Amino acid sequence: MSKGPTRVRRIEVLVAPLLTFAGVGMLLIVARFYESLPVQAPPCGFKATLNIPCVGCGGTRAMVALVSGRLAEAVSLNPAVVLGVFASGIWAVTGILKYRQGGAPISVPEQNRHVQRVALIALTVLMLNWVYLLLFLK
């Protein structure tokens, strides 16, 4: 009786998702207490120089709105920030599930294709976000 291929739990599938999730969590904690911090973020130099918002404009205000439970306001300030917060949570959950499931390592060419797909998606999201900010951010 053959039990099939042996599944191996690989800790490396957890590293990037959990570090990203922890970093986003820390940013959310900072956003929660942002108003009472002794130092605030400086005004956007890009916007001050060119009079148009950068791709990250509204990000701090979006994080503050998000931790205050104002999801619609957070999305209106910077949709990519909100998407990134939720994506980091989804990535952490899928990393945990992949770790628990186990399996063989992914080949280097497949890893490269995956990185290229994710980079293209991220670039597209950021460009669409910037267009949104150019059109609607005050």
CA distance 132 to 127: 9
94-126 confidence digits (pLDDT tens): 999 989 988 777 888 998 999 999 999 999 999
CA–CA distance, 42 with 6 (Å, rounded to integer): 54
On whether the CB atoms of residues 75 and 82 are closer than 8 A, the answer is yes
Low-confidence ranges of the chain (pLDDT < 50): none
Q: Scan for tokens 């670039």, then name that residue.
A: 123
User: The whole model's pTM is what?
Assistant: 0.85
